[in-house]
Amino acid sequence: MSPSSCCTLLIGLLCVVLIGGSLSHGQLSPTFYDTTCPNVSNIVRGIIEEALKTDARIGASLIRLHFHDCFVNGCDGSILLNNSATIESEKEALPNNNSVRGFGVVDDIKTALETACPTTVSCADILAIAAEESVSLAGGPSWNVSLGRRDSTTANRTAANISLPGPTQPLYILKEMFSTMGLDTTDLVALSGAHTFGRAQCSTFINRLYDFNSSGNPDPTLNTTYLSTLQGTCPQDGDPTVVTNLDLTTPDVFDNKYFSNLQVLEGLLQSDQELFSTADENDTVAIVNNFTADQTAFFASFVVSMIKMGNISPLTGTAGEIRLNCGKVNDNSTESDGLLYSSM
């Protein structure tokens, strides 16, 4: 499909009713930096292109950063903050610790943007742009990213431990977690399709390989040939940080093969396969089947869902700040600037 035509008509989804009511997204716009930093997307894209030369999984890592940022107090760049005297970094929350990556590339992007457009582009917006560019560079759709987010001045490790979906959670829990964020079942399935590229550590799926749900047997919804392959990659007492492809068919391409993998029981994570193999959840099965048959439909739904997710509780106007270094708040900041606190 044509990347440019995929999503032009989807930009109207900027006013989404989310957590607890209607949030104000009037200050988010795809043209936000047209005057102040007109080359922002090209700069981000160029640095990701360079990073891809030595790290094939960086695109998937960057979109995951955006996802993990938005699900914790909204899309405010809080996942990028390091520990300090006043901040407990979200990087050390259980779903993120020794797992999320790509911070060096984000820092490279920030450095380039501070040279081109000083004190202009937020770290939260860098994550949003980087997610779109990563998908596009991997062969997926392009879309006009809504911009104008500002950066929080604190993080929320407690919320990160509670709000981020995990790889072993059942489908009904995943639906509840997405619903809390204002995202529906189609959003859940479409955004899960981002697992069409990237890698996962053995620790995230080894529960399926040997003793699923304390049964003494592997997960019965795992293809037996694929099971043998994964057991070879992840022996029972092996290194839990070894990685394997999330999509065994086209691991570095953004396409719809993730969904056809689910149909033959070759989803890597339990949370992936649950979308197709949960007996009483025919709504997700129908969506998986549709996306398998029609890649254009998947791409269009994915764009809609990414725009919705990117609109979760952004800081705009004078809230928060534009960080000069994505890993630390500005020297003149106070924690109250971002209206966020260290616990829920």
335 is in an annotated binding site: no
78 is in an annotated binding site: yes
240 is in an annotated binding site: no
Among residues 69, 29, 22, the alpha carbon closest in space to that of 316 is found at 29
**Beta-strand relationship, 21-22 and 17-18:** antiparallel
C-beta separation of 323 from 122 below 8 A:
yes
165 is in an annotated binding site: yes
Residue 86 identity (one-letter amino acid): T
77 is in an annotated binding site: no
69 is in an annotated binding site: yes
User: Inter-axis angle of helices 185-192 and 295-310, to 10 degrees?
Assistant: 110
25 is in an annotated binding site: no
| 49 Cβ contact list (under 8 Å, min separation 6) | 137
Angle at 151 between CA 28 and CA 190, to 5 degrees: 60
Tokens 């107090």 locate to 73
8 is in an annotated binding site: no
247 is in an annotated binding site: yes
76 is in an annotated binding site: yes
| 109 Cβ contact list (under 8 Å, min separation 6) | 43, 44, 47, 48, 126, 130
Q: Which residues are catalytic?
A: 68
Q: Which residues are annotated as a binding site for substrate?
A: 165
Q: Which residues are annotated as a binding site?
A: 69, 72, 74, 76, 78, 90, 165, 195-196, 247, 250, 255
Q: Which residues are annotated as a binding site for heme b?
A: 195
Q: Which residues are annotated as a binding site for Ca(2+)?
A: 69, 72, 74, 76, 78, 90, 196, 247, 250, 255
